[in-house]
Structure 1
Amino acid sequence: MEQNENIVVLIDEEGKEVEFEVHMTIEVADNNYAILMLTEERKDDVAYIFRITVDENGEDVLEAIEDDDEYTTVVAAYETIANDQ
């Protein structure tokens, strides 16, 4: 994961680099999550949610959320925050 201020570059399924803007980070149930949006060039108004973990070098790493209950909980927390703004 490359990071430049609020821009994160991830690799998609086809091996292409995709730039995302870090829309916000939130804490839910003692875990941190990054809410990402595509940058202006490819904007689609969809939020992409990843769990933030720390690797053995102390670097932040974004992980896909594979547990449906965890994902639903984080989406609900994000929607609550987004609706309050």
Structure 2
Amino acid sequence: MADQENTIILTDDEGQEHEFLVVDILNVEDDEYAVLLPVEGDGDNEAAEAIVLKIGVDEDGSEVLYEIEDEDEWQRVVAAWENALEEAEED
């Protein structure tokens, strides 16, 4: 069972809520990115793919998550995540 402090609820375009486990927060070139894994069903996350969203601030000063639309930015974030995984495996 996921630790409630490490989960967030996101609402999709159709208004449906989805729970995600916050796997990691990456810092890449002065921006932060959340690595999220869907929390669904009986914990069968092996087949689930992690998603990465950019952490930003809206006009009200609240933290929000954005999709990464720039291909170069996406590649930098993927490289940072792969490096973090490699470092974790070495420890």
- The two structures have a TM-score, normalised by structure 1, of 0.83
Corresponding residue for 1:84?
87
Q: Cα–Cα, structure 1 residues 14 and 55, in superposed 2: closer, same or farther, change >3 Å? A: closer
Q: Which of 59, 62, 69 pairs up with 2:62?
A: 59
Q: How far apart in 2 are the matches of 1:51 and 1:72?
A: 13
Deviations 1:24-72 (A, max 9, x none): 1011011000000112536234110000001233321000000011001
The structural deviation recorded for 1:16 is: 1.9
Q: Cα–Cα, structure 1 residues 58 and 5, in superposed 2: closer, same or farther, change >3 Å? A: farther
Q: Secondary structure at the match of 2:23?
A: strand
Q: How far apart in 2 are the matches of 1:13 and 1:60?
A: 18
Corresponding pairs, count: 82
Q: Which of 25, 41, 49 pairs up with 2:52?
A: 49
Matching residue's letter, 2:18: V
Q: How far apart in 1 are the matches of 2:81 and 2:54?
A: 13
1:68 equivalenced with 2:65 (yes/no) = no
- Taking every aligned residue pair, what percent have the same amino acid on both sides? 41
**More strand as a share of residues:** 1
Q: Which of 1 and 2 has greater Rg?
A: 2
